[in-house]
Structure 1
C-alpha cells in the first residue's frame, strides 16, 4: 500500500509541476490532491521518492521536481490520453482539408501541431523507397530525351529525364505507357523494376525497350531512396519563451542537425508505445542538444484496413459516408492508428516538463489525419 500510495504522490508531483513549473511541496500537494494522508506522510513519501531517483530537491528549502526517471514512470503509466475536443478535431480537419499538395499538407500539419502544443513540431515527408507507384506519364522533351513524371500513392511527384535511343513512335510510346500503368500501378518501385524488365523482354515491346530500360533505372533509384524528401519544422521560436538562454544554443543546434532528428524520430515512430506514440525523455534521445527536452512522435502512413480510418461518429449521417473530409475527421476518434506500415513521422519537441497527455493526444491525432489524408485518393484531401 505504501509503495502504491508513493507512486500516487509521484504522479501528483509530476502533474502539479507540469502545470506550475514550480517546485512542489508536501503542503500544496495535500491541499490540491485527495491523497488520504497527512502532509507529514506525503513529505516522507517525497523523501523516499527522492532517494529512489524519481524526484530531486533543487534548493534546500524548496519543494521537489521530477527527474527523467519520474517523468518516464509518469508517461509509461498514463491511464488515458485525453482525446482532442470536437472543436479541435473539426479545426484540424478544416485546416488540413484546404491543402493543395502533399507539401502543403505537411507544412500545414507542422504549423498546426505547433499551435496546439506550443512546442516545436516536426513532420517528415515519406521516403520514395516506401511509396508505391500510382501513375507515370512519359512525354518527349527532345530528340532523344523523355520526361517521366512519376506520382506515388503518398502524393509525391518525381520527375526523371530518360535518355533513349532510338526514340519510339508516339503511338508506341503511348501504348507502352498505358501498359506500364496497367501492370505496375500499386507496386513498390523495387517490384515495378522487375515488372518493367518482364515487359521489355516481350518482343511486342521491342520498339520501346530503351524506354523501359531507362524507366527501370529511374524506378531503381527511387526504390533505393531511403531519405525523406523534406522535413518541415514549425514553432522553433516558441522555445525561446520556455527555455533559458544557456539551453537554447544546443537545442537549436540539434534542430539544425536534421539527419539526427530524422533518425531519432523515425526510430521512435517505428517502435511506439501502446498509443501508437513514442516518447523519449532527456538522455533517452541520445542527442546532446536534447538533454533537457522530450520528443513525442508517431508514424503515419498506410492503414491495415480502410475501415480503421473511415468508421466514426459521422458514419451514419446522411450525405457523410465516403466524404474525404469526414474520413479525416473520424480518424481522430479511432482507438488505434491501425498502421500496416509507417511511411514517415510527425512529432513534437518540447521541455521535459511538457504536458505529456496533451502532446501525445495532439501528435496522435495529427498522425491519424495525415494517414487518412494520404488514404483519400492516394494524396492530400482537397475541398
Structure 2
C-alpha cells in the first residue's frame, strides 16, 4: 500500500470519527464527500471504508447504514492527533480570571474542576495534593486571646490548614513569638511524615517557658497532619453525563458508581504522564469494568513537580481534541498559579 493511500485512509478515519462525534449518527460515504475535501471518487471512499472496517477501525451497525468508529478506531484517531484545538482568547481569559480568584490551592482546584465540567460538558475530577509529597512552608501562630491561638499551617503546594488551640495557661506576646520560632524551626522544609516525627520530639524537648503551649500546639498539628486525608477527590459535572445518547446511558449507573469510589478514581489518576502531557484511556482499555463505556482524559498539575491529577470522564465519542486542549490548559494555568507566575 502506498503512503498516499495510507494517508488518505487515515484522513477518512479522522473524518468519520469527527462526524460521528458531532452527530452520533452513522456516517456514509456520500456525507464524507460532501463535508470533506478528500479529492477522490465515491467508489474510492467506499473501498477505503471497507478496508477500515476489515481492520476493525469502523463498523456498520446495520446493513443499510453508514459506519461508526470502533474503540480501536478512536484509539488510532487519538494517537494521530497532531494539533489539539486551540482555546479562544475569551476562553483563556475566562480560565485565568476564574482560577486567579481562588483564595488557596484547594479553592483553585475546586474552581478548576467546576470549570472543566462546564467547558467540556462532561464530568471532571481532581485529586488534591498528596500530603506525602508536601512540605511545610510556614506555621503561623496568632494569639486570638490570652488562652486561645490560631495555628495556620501552609505547605509548599499552597495548601492551608487552620486550627484553633485552647490553652490551659495564659500566653503573652513574647511567648507567642518564641512559640512561632520553635515550631517553624522544627517544621519548615519537612514532609508531613517528617513533621509528625519532629513534633513528637519537640513535645519531649520543648523550652521550659512554653512547654505547656508547645504540647497543646504539637498535639493539634499532629492531628491535622495525620487525620487530613491525603486522597481527597473533588468531582463536578456528573449530571452532564445524563445528557448524552441512550446507548451511553445504559452504562451510566456503573460509571457514576465507579467515580464515587475513591480507590477507583485514585487508581485512575495514579499513572499520569509527565507534567505538560495528557493521557487518554478509551473504553475497553480501562481495568475497571464499570468504566468501559467511557473515555478518560487525564493529566498532572503542578509547577516544579506533579502535585496531583485531574481528569475529564465522558463517552467514547467525546470531542477528543477539544477535551485534551481544555484539560491541558486548565492544568497548566493551575501550575502557573501554584508557581506564582
TM-score by length of 2: 0.83
Please give the per-residue CA displacement for 1:298-331, whole angstroms capped at 9, x wherever unaligned.
111133xxxxxxxxxxxxxxxxxxxxxxxxxxxx
Q: 1:195 Cα deviation (Å)?
A: 6.0
Please say if residues 254 and 289 of structure 1, whose CA atoms lie closer than 8 Å, have aligned partners that are also in contact.
Answer: yes
Q: 1:82 Cα deviation (Å)?
A: 2.2
Give 2:238's aligned residue: 236
Give 1:257's aligned residue: 261
Greater alpha carbon shift after TM alignment, 240-249 vs 220-229: 220-229
- The yes-or-no answer on 1:108 pairing with 2:108 is no
Of the three residues 347, 354, 363, the one matched with 2:311 is: 347
Judged with a 3 Å threshold, the aligned counterparts in structure 2 of structure 1 residues 146 and 86 are, in CA distance, closer, same or farther, namely closer
Q: 1:189 Cα deviation (Å)?
A: 2.7
Greater alpha carbon shift after TM alignment, 282-291 vs 361-370: 282-291
Structure-1 separation of matches of 2:267 and 2:147: 41
Structure-2 separation of matches of 1:291 and 1:370: 29
Give 1:280's aligned residue: 281
SS at match of 1:266: coil
Equivalences for 1:79-118 in 2 at 5 Å? 79-118=82-121
Structure-2 separation of matches of 1:169 and 1:202: 21
- The yes-or-no answer on 1:30 pairing with 2:33 is yes
SS at match of 2:139: strand
- The yes-or-no answer on 1:246 pairing with 2:279 is no
Judged with a 3 Å threshold, the aligned counterparts in structure 2 of structure 1 residues 195 and 302 are, in CA distance, closer, same or farther, namely farther
Give 2:51's aligned residue: 48
Structure-1 separation of matches of 2:9 and 2:255: 34
SS at match of 1:354: coil
Q: 1:192 Cα deviation (Å)?
A: 4.1
Q: 1:262 Cα deviation (Å)?
A: 2.2
Please say if residues 193 and 220 of structure 1, whose CA atoms lie closer than 8 Å, have aligned partners that are also in contact.
Answer: no
Structure-2 separation of matches of 1:199 and 1:119: 49
Please say if residues 279 and 299 of structure 2, whose CA atoms lie closer than 8 Å, have aligned partners that are also in contact.
Answer: yes
Structure-1 separation of matches of 2:277 and 2:101: 26
Structure-2 separation of matches of 1:154 and 1:282: 33
Give 1:300's aligned residue: 301
Please give the per-residue CA displacement for 1:184-203, whole angstroms capped at 9, x wherever unaligned.
43442344456667878989
| Structure 2 gaps, min length 5 | none
Structure-2 separation of matches of 1:212 and 1:158: 19
Structure-2 separation of matches of 1:97 and 1:371: 11
- The yes-or-no answer on 1:73 pairing with 2:76 is yes
| Structure 1 gaps, min length 5 | 304-340, 378-383
SS at match of 1:36: coil
Judged with a 3 Å threshold, the aligned counterparts in structure 2 of structure 1 residues 213 and 194 are, in CA distance, closer, same or farther, namely farther
Judged with a 3 Å threshold, the aligned counterparts in structure 2 of structure 1 residues 258 and 57 are, in CA distance, closer, same or farther, namely same
Equivalences for 1:1-383 in 2 at 5 Å? 1=2, 2-138=5-141, 148-159=151-162, 171-172=174-175, 174-182=177-185, 184-192=187-195, 205=207, 211=214, 215=218, 218=221, 222=225, 227-229=230-232, 231-244=233-246, 245-267=249-271, 270-271=272-273, 276-303=277-304, 341-376=305-340
Structure-1 separation of matches of 2:139 and 2:217: 13
SS at match of 1:136: strand
| CA-based RMSD | 3.4
Number of corresponding residues:
335
Please give the per-residue CA displacement for 1:36-66, whole angstroms capped at 9, x wherever unaligned.
3222122122112112111111111111111
Please give the per-residue CA displacement for 1:79-113, whole angstroms capped at 9, x wherever unaligned.
11122111111111122222234343222222211
Q: 1:214 Cα deviation (Å)?
A: 7.5
TM-score by length of 1: 0.75
Please say if residues 165 and 216 of structure 2, whose CA atoms lie closer than 8 Å, have aligned partners that are also in contact.
Answer: no
Please say if residues 129 and 223 of structure 1, whose CA atoms lie closer than 8 Å, have aligned partners that are also in contact.
Answer: no
Q: 1:19 Cα deviation (Å)?
A: 1.8
Please say if residues 129 and 226 of structure 1, whose CA atoms lie closer than 8 Å, have aligned partners that are also in contact.
Answer: no
